[in-house]
């Protein structure tokens, strides 16, 4: 388990782009994270007025952030010199809208481990899959990013 404070020690993301509130399971085989979706999310102002829906791309980003937490567990990683970047996504599916009040259960497991990871993720609300994706993430030297 990781608290919100511990997540900040692992991920470089900060408000308003940190999309993981808590990690409830973390093993070498998978990670399960929680995102509480509230009316206070800035994206609901424009997506969509009168019919608020969490953008699917942010659901995929939440999967990638959970994958970053798992990746840090699985390979040597120094957050001062290394960062993990999103490299691609495949097999993305959105099955049901995510709305204010939903709690996302984000599960990610590795398909390939190394400097370039391939992972699979699912987002569930009340036990039902609302989105899923396979994605690539790569470990890079932070000095080459800026």
The token pair that represents 97 in the structure block: 């809208």
Q: Burial of 66 by CB count in 10 Å (0-12 exposed, 13-18 middle, 19+ buried)?
A: buried
Whole-number Å distance between alpha carbons of 107 and 29: 10
| pLDDT of the residue at 139 | 87
Residue-range definition of the domain harbouring residue 15: 4-144
Question: For residue 74, which of 118, 20, 15, 22 has the smallest C-alpha distance?
Answer: 118
Average pLDDT over all residues of the chain = 94
User: pLDDT tens-digit profile of 85-95?
Assistant: 999 999 999 99
Number of domains in the chain: 1
CATH number at residue 10: 3.10.129.10
Indicate the pLDDT class of residue 130, thresholds 50, 70 and 90: very high
Cite the active site residues: 47
């Amino acid at each position: 388990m990781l608290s919100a404070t511990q997540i900040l020690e692992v991920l470089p993301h900060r408000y308003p782009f940190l999309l993981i509130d808590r990690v409830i399971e973390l093993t070498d085989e998978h990670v399960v994270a929680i995102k509480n979706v509230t009316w206070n999310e800035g994206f609901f102002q424009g997506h969509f007025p009168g019919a608020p829906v969490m953008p699917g791309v942010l659901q995929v980003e939440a999967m990638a952030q959970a994958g970053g937490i798992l990746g840090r567990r699985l390979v040597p990683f120094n957050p001062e010199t290394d960062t993990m970047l999103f490299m691609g996504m495949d097999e993305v599916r959105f099955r049901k809208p995510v709305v204010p009040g939903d709690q996302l259960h984000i599960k990610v497991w590795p398909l390939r481990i190394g400097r370039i990871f391939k992972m699979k993720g699912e987002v569930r609300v009340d036990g039902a899959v609302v989105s899923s994706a396979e994605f690539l993430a790569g470990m890079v030297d932070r000095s080459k990013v800026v």
